[in-house]
Amino acid sequence: MIAVVPVRGGALPSGGAEAVAEAGGRCLLVGEDTATAALDLATTDVRCWEAGPFAPAAWADALAPLVADDQVVVLPASPDGRDLAPRLAHALGRPLLAGAIVVHERGAHLARLGGLVVEEAVADGPFVATLQPGVRGAEHTHGHGASATATELSLPERRDAAVVAVLAPDVTTMDLAEAPRIVGGGAGLDSEQRFEQLVRIGDAIGAAMGATRVVTDRHWVAHERQIGTTGVVVDPRLYLAFGISGAVQHTSGLGQPDHIVSVNTEAHCPMMQLADLAIVSDANAVLDELERLLGAAPGDTAGR
């Protein structure tokens, strides 16, 4: 089994490290500045192909002979992974098992109907699969992983999709599973308006807004903003938790953030114990002060 991970600008895509872990650590990174991306992987079996800007049709044709001997090829179900996977499967003449939560040598468990149904798919032979981000977790090395082995491939002449522009995601609406920074609110926040405040603060620092199950049960926030095993499984680099006690349902869906900051009046709650920085204070008052410092209040441009 091998993972093929598309890379842009030296950054692993959402779910990239998990796809590598699912493949037992064997991986091929493809794209731009792949050696830098390799340093975030906790494995020593890394090959890199500096293939330049994303070109899924040409990449698939070039990669197919290289991975043809691997029974299973796993890609992350990131936007680029979902684009490259069917092309690679076609070039290899294999079926594609898309949206997997578990991949093994004979098939995969696939999430269907928004994760409400899990389907077991058995493959008769070699196959390609995409692994959903956030379903298994993976160790982060924070840029101190092992160096990679360079691989040289010829990029074939192929008609490919033309990239007109690459737009940064809107942090206020982006999928939580792909957010590198998240500001989360829990039962310690005193009103529905606090979550509008979290959105403004998140926009100011490039973070998406999330919430706990208690909050979504109150209908203060839509269910797609719920973080946890019964909501969205996330894996941000930075997680700011305001008024979140840290129930296991919530913390089990956090992945392995590089940094956690928790603000709570209860110094010994689970969320505070997990935090790299624990602030014993009223989360509502801290949000007001943080919004003032960031100039994130409506109509306030100071500090922007």
pLDDT at position 128: 96
pLDDT above 50 for 302: no
DSSP codes joined into one string, 63-125: HHHHHTT-SEEEEE-SHHHHHHHHHHHHHHT--EEEEEEEEETTEEEEEEGGGTEEEEEE-SS
Q: What whole-number distance in Å separates Cα of residue 217 and Cα of residue 290?
A: 26
pLDDT 10s digits, 195-232: 999 999 999 999 999 999 999 999 999 999 999 988 88
Residue 303 banded pLDDT, cuts 50, 70, 90: very low
pLDDT of 89 reads: 97
2-150 topology per CATH:
Rossmann fold (3.40.50)
> Is a pLDDT exceeding 90 seen at residue 257?
no
Residue ranges of the alpha helices (H) in 148-262? 193-205, 213-217, 248-251
Q: What is the pLDDT of residues 147-166, one digit of tens each?
A: 788 888 888 888 887 778 87
Q: 127-145 pLDDT, tens per residue?
A: 999 998 877 767 666 666 7
Per-residue pLDDT tens digits for 41-97: 888 889 999 999 899 999 999 999 999 999 999 999 988 999 999 999 999 999 999
Residues of the chain with CATH 3.40.50.1220: 176-294
- Which residues, 6+ apart, have CB-to-CB distance to 219 below 8 Å? none
Cα angle vertex 236, ends 284, 84, to 5°?
Answer: 145
Mean pLDDT throughout 237-253?
93
Helix ranges restricted to H, 3-78: 16-22, 34-38, 56-67
Is the predicted pLDDT of residue 239 greater than 90, yes or no? yes
Convert the pLDDT of each residue in 262-283 to its tens digit.
999 999 999 999 999 999 999 9
Which pLDDT score, from 0 to 100, does residue 304 have? Answer: 43
131-168: buried (b, 16+ CB within 10 Å) or exposed (e) per residue? bbbbbbebebeeeebeebeebebeeeeeeeeeeeeeee
Which helix or strand (DSSP H or E) is residue 283 part of? helix 283-294
176-294 CATH pick, 3.40.50.11540, 3.20.20.70, 3.40.50.1220, 3.20.20.140: 3.40.50.1220
Residues carrying CATH 3.40.50.620, the chain? 2-150
pLDDT band per the 50, 70, 90 thresholds, residue 233? confident
pTM: 0.71
CA 20 to CA 12: how far, in whole Å?
A: 11
Query: Would you tell me the crossing angle of helices 79-92 and 56-67 to the nearest 10 degrees?
Result: 50
